[in-house]
Amino acid sequence: MKIQRKSIMIMLLAAVMVLSASACGTGQATGQSPTPAAPAVATSSTVSATGVVVPARWTMLSMPASGVVETVKGKENQAFNAGDVLLQLKGKAAQEAAVSAAEVIQLAAQRKLDNLTKDHSAVRAAAQLRLADAVKALDKAKEKREGKNYTRAGTAYLDQAKADLILAEDEFQKADDLWAYYVDRDDDDINRAGVLSMYAAARLARDKATWNLNYLQSLPDDMEVAQAEGGLVVAKAELEEAQRQFDKVKNGPDQDDQKQLEGELQNATKQLEAARSALSDLELKAPFTGTTSKINVREGEWVTTGQNAMLLADLSTLQIETTDLNEIDVARISEGAQVVITFDALPGENIMGTVEKIAARSSEGSGVNYTVTISMDERPEKLRWGMTAFVDIQVEE
């Protein structure tokens, strides 16, 4: 049919050329002046090509995950709506449990972050109290260390120690005088024993008062100074740490804690998304409303990621794609051009169409051919995907 149409066009062009030549010869024979040439008028011609009927939208679906097929929904040539489950792998219950666990972890992370803000007032108050206590402790440590530069006690303590020693010596003297009367008695004499006890106690009290006064009147030794120095260092360190902790929370929650908890929440959210994605990957869903034209898997069969599983097509809208339109002819046509379409399988069906898209690069295969997509103004009742079509595309010359 394509060859016949081209032959007819060639014969028509030849007839036009013969008629033109005869007219020119007649004018010269009668001796008349040559008639001025008429302005060129654009004539319509066509470019012919073979095409195939294809759906406007179709795709070969594959599984996003590997596994054993548990259920294949429907059969070939069955219509499905967008979002319908076409195929399902085993392991759904286990993956649902993983999703639940991830949800619990995300909830716990969110709660910890919320509590950081909610408990900020109490945390700030505790940090402020710690800072105040550290200031007081440092003042005491400084006072104690400063005191190690002088005698161990002030005037009041020294006066008290001196008075205690005078009283102790007086008591000892009285006990010593009394003891002089009993010292020569027998060792088992009860009165002698009582006086001896009183005498010994008075002597111990005097010795203790003497030691205490001497101690308070002397300078601190190296050990006492070192202890005071150590206490001062510890108090300074505690104040610095208390100040640092207060500075972190005085204007809001601790930024380091907040970043950590935000990171934990973000990680928990990602883990939940991954678990949900893994659950979703166990199902193959229809991306659009269409018909399953081919099913390549069976229940109980192992499938791998990317394996062709189902061919889904929207058969409600069919179009024509050319298969042999060469580089010379494609340069003569443009999008929006009118097209006459016929079909080998449907004799007598002549319908109109429109060029919708011209491929930007040539198709793979022998020769330099370009795919042109053509929409149909109407759809023959018995038209099917894959039928051969012949197109005559109008061009302006």
Q: 350, 344, 346: which is closest to 388 by C-alpha?
A: 344
pLDDT at 44 (0 to 100): 57
Is 213 strand, coil or helix? helix
| Element spanning 376, H or E | strand 372-376
**DSSP classification of residue 82:** T
- 344 domain-assigned: yes
Answer whether residue 315 is part of any domain.
yes
Domain of residue 26: give its range. Answer: 2-88+290-396
pLDDT at 150: 62
Counted domains in the chain: 1
pLDDT of residue 24: 39
Could you tell me if residue 190 is inside a domain? no
> Counting runs of H as helices and runs of E as strands, what totals does the chain give?
8, 12
Dig out the tokens for 269 from the structure. Answer: 């959210």
Of residues 224, 239, 222, 230, the one with CA closest to residue 139:
239
Residue 397: what pLDDT?
Answer: 67
Q: Are the beta carbons of 63 and 295 closer than 8 angstroms?
A: no
Q: Backbone dihedral region of 338: left (phi > 0), alpha (psi from -120 to 50 degrees) or beta?
A: beta
Dihedral sign from CA coordinates of 262, 267, 271, 274: positive
d(CA 13, CA 11): 5
Residue 56 — φ and ψ, nearest 5°?
A: -70, -25
Element (H, E) at 175: helix 155-182
User: Domain for residue 187, yes or no?
Assistant: no
Domain contains 43:
yes
Sequence-ordered list of residues with C-beta below 8 angstroms from that of 311, at least 6 positions apart, any chain = 58, 59, 60, 61, 292, 293, 294, 295
How far apart, in whole angstroms, are the C-alpha atoms of residue 293 and residue 312? 6
Is residue 124 one of the residues assigned to a domain? no
**Residue entry with tokens 């008429």:** 38
Helix extents (H) in 70-119: 92-118
| Cβ contact 49:55 at 8 Å | no
Instruction: Write phi, then psi, for 32 (nearest 5 degrees).
Output: -75, 155
State the 10-residue block means of pLDDT for the chain, 397 residues long: 40 40 39 41 75 95 93 91 94 95 95 87 88 92 77 78 93 92 89 92 94 82 83 92 88 87 95 95 94 93 93 95 95 95 94 96 89 96 95 89
Write the CA distances from 176 to 30, 140, 187, 193, 211, integer angstroms.
Answer: 183, 45, 17, 14, 20
In this prediction, residue 121 carries a pLDDT of 85
Under DSSP, is residue 312 helix (H, G, I), strand (E, B) or coil? strand
SS3 105: helix
Beta-bridge mates of residue 354: 338, 375
Is-contact 82 286, C-beta < 8 A?
A: yes
State how far the alpha carbon of 268 is from the alpha carbons of 25, 117, 122, 256, 260, in Å: 94, 19, 27, 18, 12
The CATH number of whichever domain residue 304 belongs to comes to: 2.40.30.170
Among residues 292, 290, 318, 313, which one has the least CA distance to residue 384? 318
